[in-house]
A = this chain, B = another copy of it.
Amino acid sequence: MGKGKLYGIGVGPGDTELLTLKAAKILEKVPVICAPRASNEKESIALSIVQPIIDKRADRKKVMIVAPIFPMKKDIENLKRHWMEASIIIADYLNSGRDVAFVTLGDPSIFSTFTYVQKNLETNYEIEVVPGITSFTACAASIKKPLVEKNEILTIVPKIDERLNDILSHGDCFVIMKASRNSKKVEKIIKKDPREKTITSVQNCTQENEKIIDGFSKEKPYLTTTIVKFDEE
Given the known interface contacts A127-B144, A137-B110, the answer about A149 and B18 at a Cβ–Cβ threshold of 8 Å is no
Q: Judging by beta carbons under 8 Å apart, are B141 and A130 in contact?
A: yes
Q: A156-B156, A167-B170 are in contact. List 17 more A-B contacts (CB 8 A).
A: A10-B137, A17-B25, A109-B137, A110-B137, A110-B154, A118-B144, A129-B142, A133-B133, A134-B134, A152-B158, A153-B155, A153-B156, A153-B157, A153-B158, A155-B156, A155-B171, A167-B167
Q: Judging by beta carbons under 8 Å apart, are B129 and A141 in contact?
A: yes
A171 to B69: give the CA distance in the assembly, Å.
30
A122 to B17: give the CA distance in the assembly, Å.
24
Interface assignment of A218: CB less than 8 Å from any CB of chain B: no
Interface of A is mostly: mixed
Contacts from A to B (Cβ < 8 Å): 8, 10, 12, 15-22, 24-25, 107-112, 115-116, 118, 122, 127, 129-134, 137-138, 140-142, 144-159, 161, 163, 166-167, 170-171
Q: Judging by beta carbons under 8 Å apart, are B137 and A132 in contact?
A: yes
A-B contact pairs, 10 of them (CB 8 A): A17-B22, A18-B20, A18-B22, A19-B20, A109-B148, A129-B140, A129-B144, A150-B158, A151-B158, A153-B167
A16 to B22: give the CA distance in the assembly, Å.
9
Q: Judging by beta carbons under 8 Å apart, are B146 and A137 in contact?
A: no
Q: Judging by beta carbons under 8 Å apart, are A133 and B17 in contact?
A: no
Q: Judging by beta carbons under 8 Å apart, are B108 and A146 in contact?
A: yes
A25 to B19: give the CA distance in the assembly, Å.
12
A116 to B15: give the CA distance in the assembly, Å.
27
Interfacial chain B residues near A132, Cβ < 8 Å:
133, 137
A228 to B158: give the CA distance in the assembly, Å.
18
Q: Judging by beta carbons under 8 Å apart, are A115 and B170 in contact?
A: no
